[in-house]
Amino acid sequence: MNAFARFRAAAVVWLLAGGVGLGLAFGAGALRAEPLSALAQYEPGRSAIHLSEGALTLSLGLSQPVPYRVFMLDSPPRLVVDFREVDFGAAAPEALVNAAGMKGVTALRWGKFRPGWSRLVAELDGPYAITRAAERTTDPAALEISLKPVDAVDFATRAGTPQSALWDLPQPADVARTHPRQDGTRPLIVVLDPGHGGIDPGAEAGVLREAVLVMTFARDLKEQMTRAGIKVIMTREEDVFVPLETRMSVARAVGADLFLSLHADALAEGEATGATIYLLDDKASDAASEKLAERHDRADLLAGVDLEGHDDEVAGVLMDLARTETQPRSTRLAGSLRDAIKGAGLSMHKHPVQGAAFSVLKSADIPSILLELGFLSSPADQARLNDPVWRGAMSAAIVKGVISWAGADAVEGRKLRQ
Ligand SMILES: [Zn+2]
Over residues 402-414, the pLDDT tens digits come to 999 999 999 998 8
With contact defined as beta carbons under 8 Å apart, do 302 and 121 qualify?
Answer: yes
| Span from the CA of 193 to the centroid of ligand 1 (angstroms) | 11
Using N-to-C axis directions, what is the helix angle for 210-227 and 388-417, rounded to 10°? 60
- pLDDT tens for residues 155-180? 877 777 665 544 544 444 443 445 67
Query: Mean pLDDT lowest for which of 177-181, 197-201, 244-248?
Result: 177-181
What is the helix (H) or strand (E) element at residue 71, kind and residue range? strand 68-73
Does position 45 have pLDDT exceeding 50, yes or no?
A: yes
| Span from the CA of 12 to the centroid of ligand 1 (angstroms) | 31
| Span from the CA of 366 to the centroid of ligand 1 (angstroms) | 20
Rounded Cα–Cα distance for residues 286 and 355 (Å): 8
| Confidence (pLDDT) at 66 | 83
- pLDDT tens for residues 63-74? 988 888 888 888
Q: Which residue has the higher pLDDT, 185 or 24?
A: 185
Look up the pTM and report it.
Answer: 0.73
Does position 59 have pLDDT exceeding 80, yes or no?
A: yes
9: confidence class by pLDDT, cuts 50, 70, 90: very low
Exposure of 239 by Cβ count < 10 A (0-12 exposed, 13-18 middle, 19+ buried)?
A: middle
Does position 14 have pLDDT exceeding 60, yes or no?
A: no
| Span from the CA of 196 to the centroid of ligand 1 (angstroms) | 6
| Confidence (pLDDT) at 115 | 76
Among residues 326, 308, 415, which one has the least CA distance to residue 369?
Answer: 326
| Span from the CA of 208 to the centroid of ligand 1 (angstroms) | 13
Q: Which residue has the higher pLDDT, 173 or 128?
A: 128
Q: Which residue has the higher pLDDT, 296 or 21?
A: 296
| Confidence (pLDDT) at 19 | 29
Does position 8 have pLDDT exceeding 50, yes or no?
A: no
| Span from the CA of 365 to the centroid of ligand 1 (angstroms) | 23
Q: Which residue has the higher pLDDT, 62 or 17?
A: 62
Q: Which residue has the higher pLDDT, 311 or 153?
A: 153
Q: Is 47 helix (H, G, I), strand (E, B) or coil?
A: strand
Q: Which residue has the higher pLDDT, 315 or 50?
A: 50
| Span from the CA of 210 to the centroid of ligand 1 (angstroms) | 7
